[in-house]
Structures are given as C-alpha cells and as structure tokens.
C-alpha cells in the first residue's frame, strides 16, 4: 500500500516538475539571448539558485562572469550588486553601518551592497580575512547585524564570488572553513571558436547584449526551490553520496590506497548535504522527480573539488583535486 502511495506521489510530483520546468526553460532562453555559450556556468548558476547555495568561480578576466549573474538578476527581476574586493576594503563596505544624524541626534542604518538578491563578490581573495569573514557570515546566516538589530537578507539570495587564477600577488587565499560555505566551485574556460565569433558579432552590433527581460519573479524562484526539495532521493542514492564523501576522508578504507598520500583532508558533512541538494536540482533541470546516480556524478566534481585538501606529495606529482575525484567516481560502487 505504501509503494502505491509513493508511486502516486512521484507521479504527481513529476507532473508538477514538468509544468514548472517551462519557467526554467523560459529563464534559460532569456539568459541565452545575452550570454553566448558558457552553458556549463549558466547550468551551475541555476543549480545553485534551485538548491539555495552559493558559487565560487575561478576563471581569467573577460569570460562574462559579471554579465552572467547580472543577466540572471534581470531575468528574475531581482536586485543586483557588485563588490570589487580590494586590500583596503572594510567589512562595513559590504554589510553597511550606523550613521549618526546630527539633526535627529540619533543613529540611522545605511545598508551595504550585501542587501541584494544577487551579489557578485569580484576577486574575493583580494580583500583581507575580516572582510571575507563578514561576507561569508552573511552568506551562512542570511542576516546582517547592524548595531543592536539583525536584518534579514532578501530572498532569494545568491552570492557568486570570483577568483583570478593568474595573479597571486597581493591576494589573501580563503581559509578552508570559509571555502566550505560555497556549495559549488567551478572553473571557467575560454569559449569555443564558433562561440567567440558570435560574441564578436553581438558586441560589435550591440544586438541584445545589454539587458535581459524579466521573465520570472523572486517568488517564482522560491516556489521552484520548494519543489526542488521534494525531488525524491532514494536511500541507495543517499548511501552512494555518503560513500563518495567518505572516500575523500579515508581513501585507504575504500580500496583507494594510492590516493591516501595525496589527501590531507576530505569533505565535511556539508559536502554530503550540498551534494544531495545539488543532485536534486540537477534532476529538476532534467525534468525528473527523482535523483539517479548520474545526477550525483555530474555535480560531484563541482561540490567536492574545493573540499579536498592536497598534500605536498600531490603537488610534487602534479595530482589535482579533479584527478582525485575522477578516481573516486571510477572506483566507488554505483548503486
């Protein structure tokens, strides 16, 4: 009887997801009018949006990172702010501060750029630790305290932080505990030749490059998020997620002895949670009401790569996080 009820629930959920997927397709089409190529980045942005997570993005300048999140904001009629991180930035420059008003002889609140639906933290590793901590605290708590009062951040709330992989002078690398706050870390590559030709044409003619039309509202995103949470995650898939994360912590116990010298630490329980949520969002994008192993495998590198610490031996042997994840995905049994 329970199986019958579960089947009916899944059928009903599938119907809802397929209906609501029209909104996501509308959103992707609108973003596609402005962003040429970079489908991987757009899909990961949508996964973070559906799973209520944040993105850490690494790529050279000029790959449409700012344009992507601003376009997403425009298409959802949300508020957008961009913070350029510099060594002289202060926490108050992000969160806001209390300003004394001489006329009223009282303090008034001036909210910072963090109070937006979509925040671009550009070159986050250029600001000192206390500024990074102020941003990451807001990301985790979804609120900011100014004076004696705590102010809720708007919903939806998504931070996309960028790091430049080329320049390392004058930078402050993010501590592991802070990097762990990001659901996904993605690497952005150069566009293909055909895409670059389209980029040239679009920019030279200025056709459709400036702004996306609003096709969704913030409340639509919250509804889609709620539906994503209901995507079915079988116990076997849960076990698979746990096995993958445990393999990063103790590879020798998972028949991956050769990886043991290369890993100094593995994914935290936050990795397991984020892998489950991101897999649900990936299934939603594929118009499915349940998670399959391929959803977990597709999103695992983005969830795990910034949660694995490498040893000096790994660096000496030119072993990267991606190499380790690839080996783990190959060796851990698929349900």
Query: Is residue 33 situated within a structural domain?
Result: yes
**pLDDT of 258 above 50:** yes
**pLDDT of 236 above 90:** yes
Query: Is residue 4 situated within a structural domain?
Result: no
Query: Is residue 6 situated within a structural domain?
Result: no
The residue among 170, 192, 224 that closes a domain is 224
Which band of pLDDT confidence, cut at 50, 70 and 90, is reported for residue 210? low
**pLDDT of 208 above 50:** no
* CATH number of the domain that residue 27 is part of: 3.40.50.300
Q: Which domain holds residue 212?
A: 20-224
Which band of pLDDT confidence, cut at 50, 70 and 90, is reported for residue 59? confident
Query: In the prediction, which pLDDT does 15 show?
Result: 86
Lowest-confidence region among 92-96, 131-135, 302-306:
131-135
Same domain flag for 220 and 238: no
Average pLDDT over every residue of 125-145: 85
Query: In the prediction, which pLDDT does 206 show?
Result: 60
**pLDDT of 64 above 90:** no
82's tokens: 């961009």
Same domain flag for 218 and 296: no
**pLDDT of 235 above 50:** yes
Query: Is residue 238 situated within a structural domain?
Result: yes
Same domain flag for 281 and 326: yes
Average pLDDT over every residue of 28-48: 86
44, 147 Cβ separation under 8 angstroms = no
Query: In the prediction, which pLDDT does 3 show?
Result: 47
Query: Is residue 13 situated within a structural domain?
Result: no
Same domain flag for 63 and 206: yes
**pLDDT of 240 above 90:** yes
Same domain flag for 175 and 291: no
Query: In the prediction, which pLDDT does 2 show?
Result: 42
**pLDDT of 168 above 70:** no
Same domain flag for 125 and 264: no
Taking the model in full, what pTM does it have? 0.88
Question: Domain tally for the chain?
Answer: 2
Same domain flag for 239 and 111: no
3-state helix/strand/coil string of the chain: CHHHHHHHHHHHHHHHHHHHHHHHHHHHHHHHHHCCCCHHHHHHHHHHHHHCCCEEEECCCCCCHHHHHHHHHHHCCCCEEEEECCCCCCCHHHHEEEEEECCCCEEEEEECCCCCCEEEEECHHHCCHHHHHHHHHHHHHCEEEECCEEEECCCCCEEEEEECCCCCCCCCCCCHHHHCCCCEEEECCCCCHHHHHHHHHHHHHCCCCCCCCCCCCHHHHHHHHHHHHCCECCHHHHHHHHHHHHHHHCHHHHCCHHHHHHEEECCCHHHHHHHHHHHHHHHHHCCCCECCHHHHHHHHHHHHHHHCEECHHHHHCCCCHHHHHHHHHHHCCCC
Q: pLDDT tens digit string along 305-335?
A: 999 988 899 889 898 889 999 999 998 888 8
Same domain flag for 27 and 159: yes
Mean pLDDT of the chain: 85
* CATH number of the domain that residue 321 is part of: 1.10.8.80
Query: Is residue 5 situated within a structural domain?
Result: no
Average pLDDT over every residue of 81-95: 89
Query: In the prediction, which pLDDT does 207 show?
Result: 53
The residue among 183, 201, 224 that closes a domain is 224
Lowest-confidence region among 138-147, 158-167, 174-183, 278-287:
158-167
Query: Is residue 62 situated within a structural domain?
Result: yes
Same domain flag for 197 and 299: no
């Amino acid at each position: 009887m329970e199986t019958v009820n579960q089947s009916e629930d899944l059928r009903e959920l599938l119907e809802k997801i397929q209906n609501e997927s029209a909104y996501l397709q509308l959103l992707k089409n609108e973003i596609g009018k402005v962003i040429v190529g970079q489908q991987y980045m757009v899909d990961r942005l949508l996964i973070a949006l559906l799973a209520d997570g944040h993105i850490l993005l690494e790529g050279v300048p000029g790959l449409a990172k700012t344009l992507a999140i601003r376009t997403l904001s425009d298409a959802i009629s949300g508020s957008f702010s961009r913070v350029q991180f510099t060594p002289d930035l202060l926490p108050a420059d992000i969160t806001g501060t209390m300003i004394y008003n001489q006329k009223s002889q009282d303090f008034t609140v001036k909210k910072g750029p963090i109070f937006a639906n979509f925040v671009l933290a550009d070159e986050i590793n250029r600001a000192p630790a206390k500024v990074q901590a102020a941003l990451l605290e807001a990301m985790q708590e979804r609120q900011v305290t100014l004076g004696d009062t705590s102010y809720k951040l708007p919903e939806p709330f998504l931070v996309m932080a960028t790091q430049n992989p080329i320049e390392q002078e004058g930078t402050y690398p993010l501590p592991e505990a802070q990097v762990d706050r990001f659901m996904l870390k993605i690497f952005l590559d150069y566009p293909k030749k055909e895409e670059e030709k389209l980029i040239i044409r679009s920019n030279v003619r200025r056709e459709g490059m400036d702004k996306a039309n609003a096709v969704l509202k913030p409340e639509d995103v919250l509804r889609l998020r709620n539906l994503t949470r209901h995507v079915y995650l079988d116990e076997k898939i849960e076990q698979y997620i746990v096995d993958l994360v445990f393999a990063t912590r103790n590879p020798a116990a998972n028949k991956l002895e050769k990886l043991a010298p290369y890993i100094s630490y593995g994914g935290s329980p936050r990795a397991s949670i984020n892998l489950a949520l991101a897999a649900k969002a990936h299934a939603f994008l594929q118009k499915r009401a349940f998670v399959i192993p391929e959803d977990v495998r597709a999103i695992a590198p983005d969830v795990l790569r910034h949660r694995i610490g490498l040893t000096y031996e790994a660096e000496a042997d030119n072993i990267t996080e991606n190499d380790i994840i690839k080996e783990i995905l190959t060796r851990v049994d698929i349900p």
